[in-house]
Structure 1
Amino acid sequence: MDVRTYIEDHRDEFLSSLKEWLAIPSISADPGHHEDVRRSARWLADHLAATGFPTVEVWETPGLPAVFAQWPAADPSAPTVLVYGHHDVQPVDPVEEWDTPPFVPTERGTSLYGRGASDDKGQILFHTLGLRAALAASGADAPPVTVKLLIEGEEESGSVHFAELMKANRARLDCDVAVISDTTMWAADTPSMCVGMRGLTDVEISLYGPGRDLHSGSFGGAVPNPLKAMSDLLSALHDEDDRVAIPGFYDGVVEAGAEERELIARLPFDEGEWLATAASTATWGERGYSTLERIWLRPTAEINGMWGGHTGAGGKTIVPRSAHAKVSFRLVPGQEPLKIQERVRDFVDSRVPDGLRAELEFGGPGVRACASDLSSTALKAARRAMERAFGTPVLFTREGGSGPEADIADILGAPLVFVAVGLDEDNIHAPNEKVETPLLLKGAESVAYLWEELGGTA
């Protein structure tokens, strides 16, 4: 029996298992659902054991549990692959906007609706189907590579304990490549591989001036105004080419190569449709780059909010005592969040007028960017595997969001390969999340071929 036939024959069994898992409301951000997250981990552990993994363990953390599994290759010299994903899900509010209950998985046409269907339970589970298909096609009792899974339970609440979990279990997680199945493709008819994700750091800036709001007739024009200073500070974040103007901000930035930019340019991108989705009438950003390059390849500074002084009804002629703003920075490979925080602090300190005091509060250590090596053997193997499954060339994308992938690469010292079949229209993090079941089956087929492709590199 070949891989595709096995997957088609076991479609209903696979979807039945996925629905059972999706019914568990494993919302990590809600303490009221923490026992459900633990129940989700136990369900996955039982499913992996039933799939045939000889080693399956629930790993506790100071927060919520992860699941580890391992299936050794018959050949001890074969490569080792670690699959990463997460079994926790986003909250479901506003629940009244769901067409069907979020934890009652519902099929409509080719779509399966339910929280976690795409992000990330569906994309984890296709690995078990793909592995069984690979074994059935080969007639072997063990995969051609050693397969390890590490499925965390706190990704949707910041992966706060994940790095320490990996460090504590570094030896057991040793691998030659890490496969990430927590991203999206360009479109159902345009399969693609994510080859990078941006990082993130954010800050709240406060400027304090007089000890109280002052009458502008008596003091205006004679003492520094925090809101005026804040507006000057924020307007100085970008230069005339709309590049971030913080000194040293671009130090170490790893530029994307010509091959990747060419593959991005081949994507069927309709800027008008994109603008309609953004509810905007114009694009903006760093000169010299396309819209997709701006949101995937370039770092940014975005003013998320600003406030201070009088904002109520009517006039109030004052010099306000303080001004505040929230700013976030999307980062690319080569930028370290903590170093960017130092640059931001220096930038703010250099622009605070006499008579004002600045306070900066960063939202934690930040998240580093990650990128795959386009020349790596593992990435080429994954691309061949997806092209075998989809029967069409696979292009490259990046994602503007952030996750723990950079920690995986650094702590485990392994290259990253993204094999995922989610779509932007899957409504992840929103009401009516869904996944396309034909794509889940293509995902299973892709990873079945991937183990074969990687096994041939031993």
Structure 2
Amino acid sequence: MTDVRTFVEEHRPELLADLDAWLRIPGISAQPEHHDDVQRSADWFAAAARQAGFPTVEIWPTPGLPAVYAEWPSADPDAPTVLVYGHHDVQPVDPIGLWHTDPFDPTIDGDLLRARGASDDKGQLLFHLLGLRAHLAATGRDTPAVSLKFLIEGEEESGSPNFEALLAQQRDRLACDVVVITDTGMVAADKPSTVTGMRGMVSCTVDFHGPDLDLHSGVFGGAIPNPATAIARLAAALHDADGRVQVSGFYDDVLELTAVERELFAKVPMDDDGFLAVAQSRALSGERGFSTLERVGARPTAEVNGIGGGYQGAGGKTIVPSDAFAKLSFRLVANQQPATIIKAVEAFVAEHTPEGVAATIDWEGPGVAPCLVPLDTPAYGALTDAISQAFDGLPVLPTREGGSGPEAAIQQVLGVPMVFLGVGLPDDQIHAPNEKVNLSMLYKGAEAAALLWAGLARLGRSGLKQS
């Protein structure tokens, strides 16, 4: 037998080879021209899971794009069952001109590997496979100490439109004692942390239609409603001077931070200058009275993701445009419900639609609910112990993530404890050009995963149920 760290160190080249192969598949779920690539991505991970030893590996079709399911029962009948969730699809690469390298030709520069999906989420999934192999080598077992199930989605980057139905359909196959989310990250390379909450989200496109054709601005301007002006006013009306969202009822159900929770946020190291550097921005903004970490992790927000209308070409064209649009997203926090916010936003749009302009709202699905993870469960204790060991005894900080995913749906359908084990960093530039992952973080993630399986096995099914 060999210890976990030694095994991970000795098998780094295999991880890099797997990353190089998988990252070359442009599985962009948002773009129909890449849907065949999403299928290829699913096939690739299914083959990798079989090679890692999983005796059961299946591709689960959906009305959209496929998920991958893998299962490896423990030889111990009393072992707890762990479900690992991640996703194999990736974000679009636009604007391609800002990439320094080909997004689907992985490039290693020292400790950094650059490619679309390197951090979100292919690199993180592959550290779990390496961690499983390290766990088997360190324990001398032929099967894992816990019964492992993997559910790897293919539409997460498109809002998981079919995922909740898949969960309900496969509820019995997915039954488990604890869920481990790997689509997540940490505060810093030298500040190990784990996510204890994620925001939910609803997003839409608002279209304003005015005259049935573009009009001469000299002949008609000033006498006909301009949908571009109206959409600009709508966007400007979303916030007040203190950064609070002005949609009526938006904050009604928000679970406010307690004094203890604000103390925990204050303990998480946060370098606002570093945050600005990563964002390549010149100033902070947001809701008055809250820290940067609180704003991005524990407060609801409204954002204009895109806005346009009328002539966009070179030079000028003096028109009153026929149409204008705004793409909006709303991040939600604990207790807020997507359906409630959708109704509130629809009322807000109606209130800000002038006479002579017709509004339509196209929602990108029913939305994603927020989720919170309690800090007093045995599963959380096992997770923080494993992460701390992998990071040479450093304390593990609880934090919250501003992004959104299907975690709340998993909680609701499966009804078991959930923890987050991911090693992405704030400067990984996920969803942006030049996405990267720190290879040293993937190696530590593999160690933590191997240690977590052993820790959960020691707790057993009965131990995981204690509070």
TM-score computed with the length of structure 2 as normaliser: 0.85
The 10-residue stretch of structure 1 (289-298 or 428-437) with the greater mean CA deviation from structure 2: 428-437
Q: Tell me if the contact between 1:202 and 1:366 (Cα under 8 Å) persists in the aligned partners.
A: yes
Match of 2:449 in 1: 447
For 1:20 and 1:59, how far apart are their aligned partners in 2?
Answer: 22
Q: Against the structure 1 CA distance between its residues 15 and 249, is the aligned structure 2 distance closer, same or farther, given a 3 Å change threshold?
A: same
For 2:181 and 2:403, how far apart are their aligned partners in 1?
Answer: 14
Unaligned runs of 5+ in 1: none
How far the C-alpha of 1:420 sits from its partner, in A, is 0.7
Q: Against the structure 1 CA distance between its residues 220 and 378, is the aligned structure 2 distance closer, same or farther, given a 3 Å change threshold?
A: same
The 10-residue stretch of structure 1 (353-362 or 395-404) with the greater mean CA deviation from structure 2: 353-362
Match of 1:368 in 2: 369
Match of 2:465 in 1: none
For 1:5 and 1:310, how far apart are their aligned partners in 2?
Answer: 61
1:424 and 2:422 are equivalent in the alignment? no
Unaligned runs of 5+ in 2: 461-467
Match of 2:78 in 1: 77
Secondary structure in 1 matching 2:172: coil
How far the C-alpha of 1:161 sits from its partner, in A, is 2.4
For 2:42 and 2:151, how far apart are their aligned partners in 1?
Answer: 11
The structure with the larger Rg is: 1
Q: Which amino acid aligns with 1:128?
A: L
How far the C-alpha of 1:62 sits from its partner, in A, is 2.8
Secondary structure in 1 matching 2:85: strand
Q: Percent identity?
A: 55
Structure 1, residues 286-310: CA drift from partner, whole Å, max 9, x if none?
Answer: 2221122111110112344555689
Q: Against the structure 1 CA distance between its residues 217 and 298, is the aligned structure 2 distance closer, same or farther, given a 3 Å change threshold?
A: same
For 2:201 and 2:189, how far apart are their aligned partners in 1?
Answer: 29
For 2:106 and 2:238, how far apart are their aligned partners in 1?
Answer: 46
For 2:437 and 2:316, how far apart are their aligned partners in 1?
Answer: 50
For 2:316 and 2:24, how far apart are their aligned partners in 1?
Answer: 51
For 2:212 and 2:443, how far apart are their aligned partners in 1?
Answer: 64
The 10-residue stretch of structure 1 (331-340 or 136-145) with the greater mean CA deviation from structure 2: 136-145
How far the C-alpha of 1:98 sits from its partner, in A, is 4.4
Q: Which amino acid aligns with 1:251?
A: D
Q: Tell me if the contact between 1:214 and 1:321 (Cα under 8 Å) persists in the aligned partners.
A: no
1:191 and 2:192 are equivalent in the alignment? yes
1:34 and 2:35 are equivalent in the alignment? yes
Match of 2:464 in 1: none
Structure 1, residues 170-226: CA drift from partner, whole Å, max 9, x if none?
Answer: 1000112211111221111112112222222234445667888698999969x9877
Match of 2:413 in 1: 411
For 2:456 and 2:350, how far apart are their aligned partners in 1?
Answer: 51
Q: Against the structure 1 CA distance between its residues 112 and 304, is the aligned structure 2 distance closer, same or farther, given a 3 Å change threshold?
A: closer
Q: How does 1:4-83 map to 2 (within 5 A)?
A: 4-83=5-84
Q: Against the structure 1 CA distance between its residues 214 and 126, is the aligned structure 2 distance closer, same or farther, given a 3 Å change threshold?
A: closer
For 2:220 and 2:433, how far apart are their aligned partners in 1?
Answer: 53
Aligned residues: 456
TM-score computed with the length of structure 1 as normaliser: 0.87
For 1:43 and 1:215, how far apart are their aligned partners in 2?
Answer: 56
For 2:319 and 2:114, how far apart are their aligned partners in 1?
Answer: 54
Structure 1, residues 247-300: CA drift from partner, whole Å, max 9, x if none?
Answer: 321222223344443233223322233334445443332222112211111011
The 10-residue stretch of structure 1 (338-347 or 255-264) with the greater mean CA deviation from structure 2: 255-264
Q: Tell me if the contact between 1:204 and 1:324 (Cα under 8 Å) persists in the aligned partners.
A: yes
Q: Tell me if the contact between 1:371 and 1:416 (Cα under 8 Å) persists in the aligned partners.
A: no
1:339 and 2:358 are equivalent in the alignment? no
What root-mean-square deviation, in Å, do the aligned CA atoms of Structure 1 and Structure 2 show? 3.2
For 2:401 and 2:338, how far apart are their aligned partners in 1?
Answer: 18
The 10-residue stretch of structure 1 (404-413 or 240-249) with the greater mean CA deviation from structure 2: 240-249
Structure 1, residues 383-439: CA drift from partner, whole Å, max 9, x if none?
Answer: 111011102111123222222222222222233211011122223334433322221
Q: Tell me if the contact between 2:216 and 2:318 (Cα under 8 Å) persists in the aligned partners.
A: no
The 10-residue stretch of structure 1 (289-298 or 235-244) with the greater mean CA deviation from structure 2: 235-244
How far the C-alpha of 1:147 sits from its partner, in A, is 0.9
For 1:315 and 1:17, how far apart are their aligned partners in 2?
Answer: 52
Q: Which amino acid aligns with 2:13?
A: D
Structure 1, residues 335-393: CA drift from partner, whole Å, max 9, x if none?
Answer: 11111111122334455566765544333322222222222222222111101110211
Match of 2:119 in 1: 118
Match of 1:296 in 2: 297
Secondary structure in 2 matching 1:420: coil
